[in-house]
Structure 1
Amino acid sequence: MEIMLGTSMIFAGNFVPRGWVGCNGQMLSISDNQAIFSVLSNTYGGDARTTFGIPDLRGRAPVGTGRGPGAQVTVNLGDKLGRDTIALDLQHMPTHNHSASFNPQTSPGSKLSATATTTVNAANGKGSQDDAEGAYWATPQNGSRPATDSYAGTKTTRMASDAVEVDVQITGSGAGITGGTVTVENNGSSVPFPVWQPTLGLQYIMSITGIYPSRN
């Protein structure tokens, strides 16, 4: 069976057969290979004046051109896509946690002290009523009972709410946490990981002789 010019295939041998070249990205002379140049042009390299390139399939797998259903990338003839390894960006990583530590800054505080001031309110003059309820202390009217009769051993009523005032002032500060720093530990090592599929090394070769392909 005669092979068409420009046909590429896998060859399991350790040499390149006569009339073929290895698909290794090498440059060929246009003047010496005008037929195959007219098929390939400079799609795979070269200046298209004196040289042209052969497809480089070393470590690569061929893929159909165009954009199939569900595909995300449009592949043009001669495109080189993909990579051996890849490193994930933050937006591509799964949700995860990091360990964190808190280093507090504390204050020893100071001794608390309280000062209480008691004010006893009274009327500056003689009293006008006998009942202590809702009233203030006052000087007895003339002819009243002696002062000793102004007191009793039990309480029976309530004087005015502001008859006795107590003002308490507390000074000082208590100990506690006044600040600190939070340290979030790093996770991972940012090492790229391989994305190779299981492979077997074979040789791609291209025919540079044979039947010239018709476009019709």
Structure 2
Amino acid sequence: MSTPYLGEIRLASFSFAPKNWAMCDGQFLPINQNQALFSLLGTTYGGNGQTNFRLPDLRGRVPVGFANDFPQGQAGGEYDHTLTASELGAHTHQAAVAVVPNTATPTGSQLAQPGKAAYAAAPTATMAPIAVSQVGGGLAHTNTAPYLTVNFLIALVGIFPTPN
């Protein structure tokens, strides 16, 4: 491996951090022992900025490139999500009835034959239960895309990066 930049993050297929590297697991490091790295990261990922700072925590996360809508250090997303009515796409359901329509001018709770206006008088028949029942369980669904777990490591020692 070539000499890394200080603070550079690399992927590894092994489950430990080699010498001069640390796991990107959100651990706190003392500033007095990691002053150069602190000068690059500051408290972007947490810490009190007086005695400690935090490394990025990439466990179970997908890294996203910096952009105006995604400032460095921002964490977001959710593992599970429960849909609300406002998130459902517009759609319709067909009505089902318990009695087959056979009259142009029905009485009770029947629908008229096709082409006739539908109306209802005092109910004497009930709609089929499926026509008025709730559907869905109201439970959360997982937002996980297909994945392969690896480890993210951050260089604790390396070439100090300079802009341009």
What TM-score comes out, normalization by structure 2 length? 0.74
Partner of 2:78: 83
Partner of 1:198: 146
Deviations 1:77-99 (A, max 9, x none): 00111111112121222414387
Matched, 1:189 2:133: no
More strand by share: 1
Go from structure 1 to structure 2 and tell me whether the alpha carbon gap of 1:52 and 1:100 turns closer, same or farther (over 3 Å shift): farther
Query: What's the C-alpha RMSD, in Å, of the aligned pairs?
Result: 2.5
- Unaligned runs of at least 5 residues, structure 2: 99-107, 109-120
Q: Write the distance in 2 (CA, Å) between the matches of 1:45 and 1:14.
A: 24
Partner of 1:25: 26
Go from structure 1 to structure 2 and tell me whether the alpha carbon gap of 1:214 and 1:52 turns closer, same or farther (over 3 Å shift): same
- Unaligned runs of at least 5 residues, structure 1: 68-73, 107-175
Partner of 1:52: 53
Alignment of 1:16-165 (within 5 A): 16-67=17-68, 74-94=69-89, 95-97=91-93
The one-letter code of the counterpart of 2:147 is: T
Partner of 1:212: 160
Go from structure 1 to structure 2 and tell me whether the alpha carbon gap of 1:41 and 1:209 turns closer, same or farther (over 3 Å shift): same
- Identical counterparts, % of pairs: 32
Go from structure 1 to structure 2 and tell me whether the alpha carbon gap of 1:35 and 1:186 turns closer, same or farther (over 3 Å shift): same
* Superposed structure 1 runs of 4+ greater than 6 Å apart: 98-102, 178-183
Which has more radius of gyration? 1
Partner of 1:146: none
Checking the alignment, whether the CA contact within 8 Å between 1:98 and 1:186 is kept in structure 2 is no
Partner of 2:115: none
The one-letter code of the counterpart of 2:144 is: W
